[in-house]
Structure 1
Amino acid sequence: MNLKATCINTMARTLVQVIIATGCYGICAASVNGDHFALHKNYAFKVIDIAITGKVVEEGTGLPLPGVSVKIKGTSNAVVTDNQGNYRIVVPDAQTTLVFSYLGFVPQEKLVSAAGVINVTLVPSDNKLDEVVVVGFGTQKKADVTGSVVRANLEDFRNAPVTNVANLLQGTVPGLNVGQVNRAGATPSISIRGANTIAGNQNVLVILDGVQYNGSLTSINPDDIASIDILKDASATAVYGAQAANGVLLVTSRKGVAGRTRITFSSQYATQNPNIDTRPMGREEYLDKIRYLYYDQAFLAPTYTEPNPAFDLSSVVDRSMKDPQGNLLPNDFSWYDEASQNGYVLDNQISFSGGSEKINYLLSASLTRNTGFIVNDIFRRKSLRANLETKATDWLTVGLQSFGTFVNEDGVEPTIGTLRILSPLILPRDENGNLSINPFATNIVNPFLSYETDDYDRKNYFFANVYANVLLPIKGLSYKLNFGNNYRQILNYVSNSYDANLTGQASKESTNYYDYTLDNVLTYNKTFGKHNITGTLLYGAVERRQEYTRAYSNGFSRQTLGYNDLAQGNNRFAISNGFSESLNYQMARLNYGFDGGRYLLTATVRRDGFSGFAKNYKAAVFPSVSVGWDISKESFFKASWVDQLKLRAGYGTVGNQTPRYTSLARVNTNAAYVYGDGGGTQFGQEVGSLPNPNLRWERTTGLNIGLDFTLLKNRISGTIEYYNTRTTDLLYEVALPTVTGFNVIQSNVGQLDNSGYELSINSKNINSGGFQWNTTLNFSRNKNELVKLLGDRDGDGVEDDLPQSGLFIGQPLAVIYDYQTNGIWQIGEQIPSGYSPGTLRIVDQNGDGLINANDRTILGSGAPSFRVSLLNNFQYKNFTLSVFLNSVQGGKNSYIAGNTPRMIRDDNQIRNNHLSGIDFWTPNNPDGRYPRSILAATIQPALYQHRSFIRLQDVSLSYKVPAKVIEKINLQSVNIFVSGRNLATWTNWEGWDPETNEGLTTGGRPVLKGYSLGLNVTF
């Protein structure tokens, strides 16, 4: 190859020689001393303009940031990133500096140098209003969002001793209602903005890394989660159409970011013990209980307060508690203490993350063990995750988000209710050390027999989402393919020689579930002048399949192989079932912004089809529209103390699905006929339900109005929202006349209204002298009202109630309809027939002198009046202290529930133990709160108590070791922390816990409180 004298200098000639030496004979490029050169055939040219490309993502989540300004420093030349965070800009030379800026993030500057690709990770600033959130099939700046979308605060609760990511959300987001748990590894109840249905699906839709997730949240390692965004109103959830009536949780896992490899290890140990020390009666209290049940014999008339010396307690005690001579056994044994233990959580995490310009990765593993306060309440979890993403070409990015979780819950815990009713006078083992089968000599079995169970209880979860982002030739147009797969396997093998009336029983039970999601997403982003448009088109499908099999046998002569040889049982049985269902959907969304977000518009329409609906209504369309107005950007707005003020409003419709097959005529198999005397029973099939070919989707249409604000140079920020929704075509089983041969038919009826207010305020109280104090206040109020149901069936012109179902027109779904009580009948009073001293006095509502069902009345509601939480975060130098208070309040007649321990002198109550310290009525305790009587009352109403509470839910103190201390051992960061959860609860509720709605019952479980010590290290 001959070079012509066109090289512009010696360095260029050297460059050309280098390029030739490498065998490049086409168009080549390189950089020498900051100058960029191109070689075309025999010519080397100095390149004046340089094209720089790259991607901008958010720190921690790795989510792409659309709309980031990429500006040449010192000029007005700038571009913005597209919907996938990609950009391309031409710069004049290698000494150019690019400025990356985005509202809500700390700006960054990058020197071009010799780089042709510059990827940037932006760090969020403290302005919560301007963070980037996931909105479904894309991301948006919070400032550009027009619906009700909130990112949960996870960071302040990372140190909490929990095993389920949902527990981190309790009280942190207004409108998101997360309950308590009292079992190891359990998932709490989750709802968003109250109830929108009576009998339809009430589950919140969970989207994990863009894919619908129907597995348990227990399967997700909390440490793998980067963010959780909550879609609350119809305009935000409309992108998910028919499954979004109950709100949406968008869960995003962590990604690696470009830079050096980060190895992070964390370990935490936490104690877990009951937050209330309620236990069964000891020996003396137990014997007093029996004595007071026989107060008419144990005490002297007429007042029954003076002991009767002639009364022999052993004469009325169950024979199981007496020795052969008839004397009371001397024992004071605590069955409850024997079966309880100190619980704990041990959690270990390790992750590897990093990347380059072309690839990023995150690999993580975790090992978690949670032991509850009851023996064999054990949760063990192993989890592995691999998240990979590579930029294969300038126009193609492919990635994988995957995890496998393996849950072990082997072991059967003793029945708590039985533990608490067994007498302290009885021991669990006989004189030979063998477990007593029936300690009471009744059909109540020894709860410790569960220890003899060979129990194999495993749940395996597998998730993989493969995706590809393609930049199409048209500028701003991109295509994304999502193929998500969920698989879970549940195995439960049990063998116990005491089951099946002591003949022994063994079983193998397996459930296999699989679903896939295939989404095709086309996105177009264009900015021209003051206008910005983002259009999204979606076509997708979901298919779900499940198979269930249970084989079991009983009547074992020997059970040495247990569930591994069911053929050893004399009686063998098998059960199986399965289902398959599918959905397909299409969605179009338009986002429009004018003048940097001064005016905003989002319009969405989605069409859903579901195999489970009737043939005449397989599909439905769900539209929505929302607008936003940033008032602070108007020229007439002069309030200097207001940094940002955005008003938004949205209106839309979402749906709710019926359970599969409910629109069809279903067939039952039952014992149907016996041929002749002594003949065998033949099984037959019969139609068990009527079909409804016109069964429709529930439709929830809602209005949401919100105001986002930032004040006093970002010292105060927050959101105020009002919403009002209406659900029609409620799915409900309507009763049929028995002459039809059927009991009910699934139908669409009525109307349910739901409304409420929400408030969230963040304030930076102090930031001076190395000390910071920040506060977050959340408040929400919700109420619903049943407006219509089955119509006017009796012809009186008034919509009819359904008292037998607890449904009343004009009342909330949680209405309480029962008898009103007024104290307890006392000795010496004129007591009506059917009642006796110690029974509850019922108010005669209609004054007819009779107490019957007509005297029931509406007493209030079981739903809360409002929820409120307060988070205070204090930072001083390297110390951080977080204190979180959470509260649910009921006001005068809301958030109440039945809580009625009672005793009646019958065989069971005489024999059974009860909880200690309950204020039962006796003749010498006439003001006792709870009924105790010799005879059962004709009507035994419930007593209702307020469940309102304030809870010190989370406290965390952490210390970040200074960099100068750890850099000597090549560590990036070391964080040591102590934390506590559920440390104190202030309430008037009596019993286990107001939030779990478990009162003074022998079968209740306490909420667990705990203290933890942990360490986070990054290499």
Structure 2
Amino acid sequence: MKKINKLKIRERAGVTMTLLLLFISFTAFAQNGTVVTGTITDANNVPIPYANILEKGTTNGAVSDFDGVYSIEVSDVDTSELVFSLIGFKSQTKPVAGNASIDVVLQEDVANLDEVVVIGYGSQKRSDVTGAVASANIEAFENSPNTNIAQSLQGTVAGLNIGQVNSAGSTPEISIRGQVSLNGSQSVLIVLDGIQFNGSLSSLNPNDIESIDVLKDVSSTAVYGAQAANGVILITTKGGRRNQKAKISVSSSYATLQSTTDHRPLRRSDYIDHINMQLYDLRFLGPDYTTPNPDYVGYFEPGQGINANFELESDTNPGEFSDNDYDWWGNGTQTGFVQENEVSISGASETTSYLVSMGLTEQEGIINNDNFSRRSLRVNLDTNVSEGWKIGVQAFGSFEKLDGDEPHISQLRNFSPLLVPFDEDGNLIPNPAGTIEPNPFLGQNTQDYERKDYFFANVYSEVDLPFIEGLSYRINFGNNYRIEKRYGSSIYGAGLTGDAGKDIRFYRDYTLDNLLNYNRLFGKHDISATLLYGAIERKDERTNAYASGFDRLSLGYNDLSVGAIPIIGSSSFKETLNYQMLRANYKFDNRYIITGTIRRDGFSGFAANEKSAYFPSGALGWVASNESFLQNSDWVNNLKVRASYGIAGNQTGRYTSLARLGTKAAYVFGDGGSPAFGQELTTLANPNLRWEKTAGLNVGVDFSLFSSRLNGSIDTYKNITDDLLFSVRIPYLTGFSNIQTNVGKIQNTGLEVSLTGDIVRNDNFTWTAGLNYSRNKNEILELTGEDADGDGVEDDLIQSGLFIGESINAIYDYETDGIYQIGDDIPDGYGIGNYRIVDQNNDGLITQADDRKIIGTRDPSYAISLLNTFKYKNLSFSFFLNSIQGNDGNYISRNDNALYRNANTLYQNVVSGIDYWSPQNPDGLNAMAPNRPGIAGTRYEDRSFIRLQDVNLRYSFDNNVLESLGLDALSVFISGKNLATWTDWNGFDPEYQDSDRNIYGVGLTTGGRPVLKGYSLGVNLSF
């Protein structure tokens, strides 16, 4: 939701007070006393016009001017007290105490400000909102080194789930209130300045964003229909404020980036110990492997080695590289940084407001060539053409540069420090280990050009229609345009023969919305309605050319014709949507509120018989604090109870209702002939494929208590998704492999709590705390409805990992119970050092069919966060704790680094910190054995964590300094990101996980990447 026209609200309040105070001031004019002057500003050092100043205990008063300056004559300079107030701000009382100048900073009182908020295709008073709508506190994180605005949302809104990022410029995974679909769209709808935005959030300059609001329940998302099945994030960009003189703002910051963990590949000494550890059965004798083998000299000692059968062999000497101690990881990584520079100019007259901004962001991650650069330009303009008619545009261009390929991360970790990447002449050795594994630095020694250009514009016109009072018409025309280029070449590609290629993609869409809005107040009856008719068209085209086998690559990707083997490909798609929506609101006596919405969606991707569908919703609200029995309450300032119910839809992917073709080798002409390629149908058409539908119930309460010292909201919800879009496998003898159809049912339930409290509040010091808590549980209620074994129970889809009565993210695997130790009764096929697999049916055998079970889920039990903000005069300090917790098998992931000895493990490196079992370390967590059993099992760990995610310290200079420098505002800050994480997880980070639900975690695997922490220093100023 977006605060709009705050100054307009202040102005209306101020005009009323001005008329009153003109009379008061006139009557007090003849009094003799001392004049007190000063400036009134808000927490951001913005002057507050029309604030009221009253001498306590008298009728003597004054009003601040447009620049926040006031002057008042007091009766007694020693004993008088001044009361400063304005609607929407917390009142302050200041003793004069002989001071001729008193400056005041007023703090916003959000609970008492009946602000107008954007809710999608219109606006409402916050007190009138009946759905589950939450605002993100992005101001608290504006000084954090976040290149992507989604990083500033992490943990800030109950029910909004934002993942971690570990590479430059990347966008985290985003979801709202859990997963409600299997194969349907999982994407949260992003609405930018009223227009659906299909670009990457990485293209947005965080400094351009005014507010971010989250629509969570069906009632609030209903206006966006099936586009909003997974929730909506409304992003509103900045603009000039009414009657604001031209203001230039400049900000600059620099942050360092480094790994949050110390897990590095082993260096020479530890690496040799690690290899020798694997050979415990050769190094030691006896049943307990405690007696040293006198014939074992050492794997890397002269004259000693191991042959292919892992037997001692004095003629094998792998120690020829033993003098080397090459740091592969250190040479493939770096200290990263984020550098941001922004400048903007904004202002407004009586009729026109504007903002022009430019930004440059440069980021380097900790892996070589993990680079991100963004240049951005934004223009926002609104103007009143005449009385009742305004037009405007919000437009931006963003240009991303991601040139450079990284070294192969897995090889950086597992290459032996006894190997070196270069020969004596300084040339890269393609395969230093003498195997097919490439030199990791081959990956970064490429010619790589990667650019992404984003263009966005929303042009609108709004006019008040003269024939019906309160009726207006608005037209929005929005465009997204994107160009992606990826060019590359490598002399080491295609088996060292060289390869090169060009890939270019053009995407564009338009949105056209026609809106009729009606707002009227008839006594105690407040009526509003919105009628929408709109359409969206999306087009995409892609062309790629590739060649391999180059005699030379002097021209790189700019002359693919000299390649011996060319490959050319192209693709395109077009899809269209149309929609109609009616929303009506009725409020009686500021106490009882009814909201109803009906939306019709049409999408070209559905079958001919099911192109469109209807989605209704309704909501009720009761403002109990406006009832007579609570109006004079000493502790209840605001209390609203609300409930909503509705049905939302979800889209299928394009072409999924159609029979699709695949290309394969189809026929061989004659003996020894080459195969001819042909096309065949691979999927069966479904002319009745219909919309997935989610029925949602939400009950909530909003409250403000104890003189607005405690504010918050509580929501509980239950969503049931039916007619799930799912690709069902069918017997291939039919000639097809699968068909997209509607099967099954999912239930989603949850609880969300948001609290904000003023713990300490006085003239010089404030302490504010905000807490968010959320939990979500999903359960599969139905699947295909089939009962193949005839036991009267519907079958699970085991191959797809889906089980009735379990979470979508249930983990179905073998249960382990420690590691087999020396002296244990070990079944056939297993040995010491192997995981002990639990025999679920106690038949003495470990089998795939009988011994797997649901051992837990990737879903967390709950998420909780706490933001503390302290302000003392001009100094502010805040820290943000974010936590996700699991219990009873929740929030677990695979974190297994088992090592089974073979030719690879006897030269590959590992990262530090992996706790392996051995006879000398019987309590080790990870299996380590000479042989891998047929069913080896795996180890899972709890991912629960508490993270010190953000720390900010800022100092804002006072007016005396600003006047001497000729500035309107000046502040300096230092901040930290991801400074500490408390967890039992043994890995790079417990929060970052692969988005593919079939991959249960990254742990300390060779492909994992650490999450980054950073320290930032910056300055903000305006003049």
What is the TM-score when the length of structure 1 is the normalising length?
0.88
Aligned to 1:848: 843
Of residues 655, 660, 671, the one that matches 2:649 is 655
Matches within 5 A, 1:181-192: 181-192=165-176
Structure-2 change in CA distance of 1:447 and 1:983 (3 Å): same
Asked whether the equivalents of residues 387 and 400 of structure 1 are also in contact (C-alpha less than 8 Å), the reply is yes
Return the letter of the residue paired with 2:854: I
Asked whether the equivalents of residues 730 and 739 of structure 2 are also in contact (C-alpha less than 8 Å), the reply is yes
Indicate whether 1:268 and 2:253 are aligned.
yes
Aligned to 1:943: 939
Structure 2: stretches of 5+ with no match in the other structure: 21-62, 67-84, 92-105, 309-314, 994-1001
**What's the CA shift for 1:72?**
5.3
**What's the CA shift for 1:395?**
2.4
Matches within 5 A, 1:15-414: 104=88, 125-127=109-111, 130-257=114-241, 258-312=243-297, 313-314=299-300, 315-316=304-305, 327-414=320-407
CA distance in 2, matches of 1:183, 1:511: 23
Aligned to 1:765: 759
Return the letter of the residue paired with 2:895: N
Asked whether the equivalents of residues 133 and 151 of structure 1 are also in contact (C-alpha less than 8 Å), the reply is no
Aligned to 2:52: none
Matched position secondary structure for 1:289: helix
Of residues 454, 458, 466, the one that matches 2:451 is 458
Asked whether the equivalents of residues 353 and 361 of structure 1 are also in contact (C-alpha less than 8 Å), the reply is yes
Indicate whether 1:985 and 2:981 are aligned.
yes
Of residues 863, 871, 874, the one that matches 2:870 is 874
**What's the CA shift for 1:830?**
2.7
Of residues 909, 912, 915, the one that matches 2:908 is 912
Structure-2 change in CA distance of 1:272 and 1:626 (3 Å): same
Aligned to 1:558: 552
**What's the CA shift for 1:570?**
1.3
Structure-2 change in CA distance of 1:951 and 1:98 (3 Å): closer
Question: Per-residue displacement from partner, 1:286-343 (whole Å, max 9, x unpaired)?
Answer: 1122212221111122321333232241444699xx9999645211111001111100
Matches within 5 A, 1:661-810: 661-794=655-788, 795-810=790-805
Aligned to 1:609: 602
Matched position secondary structure for 1:556: coil
Aligned to 2:561: 567
Matched position secondary structure for 1:352: strand
Question: Per-residue displacement from partner, 1:67-92 (whole Å, max 9, x unpaired)?
Answer: 9889756999xxxxxxxxxxxxxxxx
**What's the CA shift for 1:856?**
1.1
Range 324-333 or range 971-980, more displaced: 324-333
Asked whether the equivalents of residues 745 and 781 of structure 2 are also in contact (C-alpha less than 8 Å), the reply is yes
Instruction: Give the alignment's Cα RMSD to 1 decimal.
Output: 2.4
Matched position secondary structure for 1:668: strand
Aligned to 1:865: 861
Asked whether the equivalents of residues 682 and 738 of structure 2 are also in contact (C-alpha less than 8 Å), the reply is no
Aligned to 2:1008: 1004
Matched position secondary structure for 1:567: helix
Matched position secondary structure for 2:282: helix
The count of corresponding residues between Structure 1 and Structure 2 is: 927
Aligned to 1:641: 635
Structure-2 change in CA distance of 1:137 and 1:972 (3 Å): same
Asked whether the equivalents of residues 509 and 550 of structure 1 are also in contact (C-alpha less than 8 Å), the reply is yes
Question: Per-residue displacement from partner, 1:766-798 (whole Å, max 9, x unpaired)?
Answer: 112400000001100110110001114223221
Matched position secondary structure for 1:894: coil
Aligned to 2:312: none
CA distance in 1, matches of 2:349, 2:18: 29
Matched position secondary structure for 2:743: strand
Structure 1: stretches of 5+ with no match in the other structure: 1-56, 77-96, 108-121
Structure-2 change in CA distance of 1:255 and 1:608 (3 Å): same
Asked whether the equivalents of residues 826 and 838 of structure 1 are also in contact (C-alpha less than 8 Å), the reply is yes
Question: Per-residue displacement from partner, 1:862-897 (whole Å, max 9, x unpaired)?
Answer: 100000000000000000101100000002321111
CA distance in 2, matches of 1:63, 1:701: 40
CA distance in 2, matches of 1:318, 1:372: 42
Asked whether the equivalents of residues 604 and 624 of structure 1 are also in contact (C-alpha less than 8 Å), the reply is yes
Of residues 467, 470, 485, the one that matches 2:463 is 470
Aligned to 1:118: none
Of residues 441, 445, 450, the one that matches 1:448 is 441
CA distance in 1, matches of 2:14, 2:733: 75
Asked whether the equivalents of residues 58 and 65 of structure 1 are also in contact (C-alpha less than 8 Å), the reply is no
Asked whether the equivalents of residues 128 and 717 of structure 1 are also in contact (C-alpha less than 8 Å), the reply is no
What is the TM-score when the length of structure 2 is the normalising length?
0.88
CA distance in 1, matches of 2:484, 2:908: 37
CA distance in 2, matches of 1:747, 1:800: 17
Aligned to 1:112: none
Asked whether the equivalents of residues 61 and 252 of structure 1 are also in contact (C-alpha less than 8 Å), the reply is no
CA distance in 2, matches of 1:151, 1:859: 37
Aligned to 2:72: none
Asked whether the equivalents of residues 470 and 479 of structure 1 are also in contact (C-alpha less than 8 Å), the reply is yes
Asked whether the equivalents of residues 581 and 612 of structure 1 are also in contact (C-alpha less than 8 Å), the reply is yes
Aligned to 1:825: 820
Of residues 621, 626, 631, the one that matches 2:619 is 626
Range 886-895 or range 166-175, more displaced: 886-895
Range 797-806 or range 408-417, more displaced: 797-806
Matched position secondary structure for 1:417: helix
CA distance in 1, matches of 2:528, 2:107: 24
**What's the CA shift for 1:469?**
0.8
Matched position secondary structure for 1:942: coil
Question: Per-residue displacement from partner, 1:140-174 (whole Å, max 9, x unpaired)?
Answer: 22211000011111111100111000000000000
Asked whether the equivalents of residues 982 and 1010 of structure 1 are also in contact (C-alpha less than 8 Å), the reply is yes
Return the letter of the residue paired with 1:689: T
Matched-pair identity in %: 53
Return the letter of the residue paired with 2:289: Y
CA distance in 2, matches of 1:62, 1:461: 31
Aligned to 2:579: 585
Matches within 5 A, 1:809-820: 809-820=804-815
Structure-2 change in CA distance of 1:542 and 1:185 (3 Å): same
Range 610-619 or range 918-927, more displaced: 918-927
Asked whether the equivalents of residues 343 and 359 of structure 2 are also in contact (C-alpha less than 8 Å), the reply is yes
CA distance in 2, matches of 1:537, 1:701: 23
Asked whether the equivalents of residues 129 and 717 of structure 1 are also in contact (C-alpha less than 8 Å), the reply is no
Matched position secondary structure for 2:932: coil
**What's the CA shift for 1:125?**
3.5
Asked whether the equivalents of residues 124 and 131 of structure 1 are also in contact (C-alpha less than 8 Å), the reply is no
Matched position secondary structure for 1:911: coil
Return the letter of the residue paired with 1:282: R
Structure-2 change in CA distance of 1:761 and 1:780 (3 Å): same
Structure-2 change in CA distance of 1:635 and 1:71 (3 Å): farther
CA distance in 1, matches of 2:207, 2:489: 36
**What's the CA shift for 1:397?**
0.6
Structure-2 change in CA distance of 1:316 and 1:743 (3 Å): farther
Asked whether the equivalents of residues 70 and 98 of structure 1 are also in contact (C-alpha less than 8 Å), the reply is no
Asked whether the equivalents of residues 871 and 877 of structure 2 are also in contact (C-alpha less than 8 Å), the reply is yes
**What's the CA shift for 1:367?**
0.3
Range 668-677 or range 704-713, more displaced: 668-677
Matched position secondary structure for 2:721: strand
